[in-house]
Amino acid sequence: MRMRATVAAVSGALVLSALALPAAQADEGRSWTHDFSLQAPQKAQERMAARSLTSDTDLKITKAVVNGGKPIAVGTKSKKKVTVAVTATDDSGIAGAGAALWIGSDIESEDSFGFSQNEDNAKCKAASATTSTCTLTITVDPAWLINSDAASWHLAVAVAAKDGQLVEKTKFAKVKLQRFSKLTANAGPEPVKKGKTLTITGKLTRANWETGTYKGYTKQPVKLQFRKKGSSTYTTVKTVKSNSTGALKTTVKASVDGYWRYSFAGTSTTPAVTAAGDFVDVK
């Protein structure tokens, strides 16, 4: 059974009830129930007479940054905690904010699901009397992911102003979720005589969320690079493609002492990764 955690976010007196995910059988598809709604603080509700969410409010969400603006790379075991920073402005000031990451065609669709913020209260820092940036974290658990989740996710954001105004955007921004990658390199024989053949092997793998293991990333171009002893710069010697198991193998003529490594540029679903350099002593 693939279970999805309930997604709920609370920020101060602001409550964001979002993306509640029930347990679901893997072969039945992934579904959720959802109530993306806000409750303003009681005093604000009294002052504002239950003001509804409207597009003409002066409360504006101006910016949201997930994971420092970088894609989120998730492995097979460890949960990935990412930071979300939401900036908003209102003439009365900002009371709180909430956020969630979700994937699917529409937030109302049964095949959509997501993860919410961890904190009950986002930390909001005022830049001025009207503008604040509220920071919180969201944890992505690979135990609930399938490989097709390596795609663009939506960031849902909600903000409450001190005067009781409320704004929510279910598709405020997008962020890529990627399958964490690994790369190895081994050059031999060591030591090797000058002019003799040097073989560099390695393997490119990435997280398989459905099996909880790392599997070979096949038919991918990977650069073989060399750094001469005493130098700080690697240069690309050739490009090698990973085989049907993700393995890499190529040969070169040994010339001088130095370090050999493989470097992968990454794809939309898999982050870039570079192996540690393997030193070879040339006699």
Domain regions of the chain by residue span? 8-179, 181-280
Q: Has residue 32 got a pLDDT over 50?
A: no
Percent of the chain beyond pLDDT 70? 80
CATH class in words for 8-179: mainly beta
DSSP E strand boundaries for 90-165: 94-103, 113-116, 123-126, 131-140, 152-161
Average pLDDT, integer, range 197-208: 98
- What pLDDT is attached to residue 223? 98
Closest by Cα among 160, 257, 148, 283 to 210:
148
Is the Cβ–Cβ distance between 271 and 205 less than 8 Å?
A: no
Residue 15 — very low, low, confident or very high, per pLDDT cuts 50/70/90? very low
Kindly state the tokens that stand for 117.
């913020």
Q: Which residues have CB under 8 Å from 164's CB, separation 6+?
A: 40, 41, 44, 45, 47, 48, 51
Three-class DSSP category at 149 = helix
- What pLDDT is attached to residue 55? 46
- What pLDDT is attached to residue 149? 97
Query: 8-179 and 181-280: same fold?
Result: yes
Q: What is the rounded CA–CA span in Å between residue 206 and residue 182?
A: 6
- What pLDDT is attached to residue 68? 98
Q: What is the rounded CA–CA span in Å between residue 105 and residue 113?
A: 10
Is the Cβ–Cβ distance between 21 and 135 less than 8 Å?
A: no
Between β-strands 72-74 and 166-179, what pairing exists: parallel, antiparallel or unpaired? parallel
3.90.220.20, 3.30.230.80, 2.60.40.10, 3.40.50.300: which CATH number matches 181-280? Answer: 2.60.40.10
pTM for the predicted model, two decimal places? 0.83
- What pLDDT is attached to residue 112? 86
Lowest mean pLDDT among 32-46, 144-158, 231-245: 32-46
Lowest mean pLDDT among 48-52, 84-88, 111-115, 261-265: 48-52
Within 10 angstroms of residue 176's Cβ, the number of other Cβ atoms is: 17
Q: What is the rounded CA–CA span in Å between residue 169 and residue 188?
A: 56
- What pLDDT is attached to residue 109? 78
Lowest mean pLDDT among 48-52, 136-140, 143-147, 185-189: 48-52
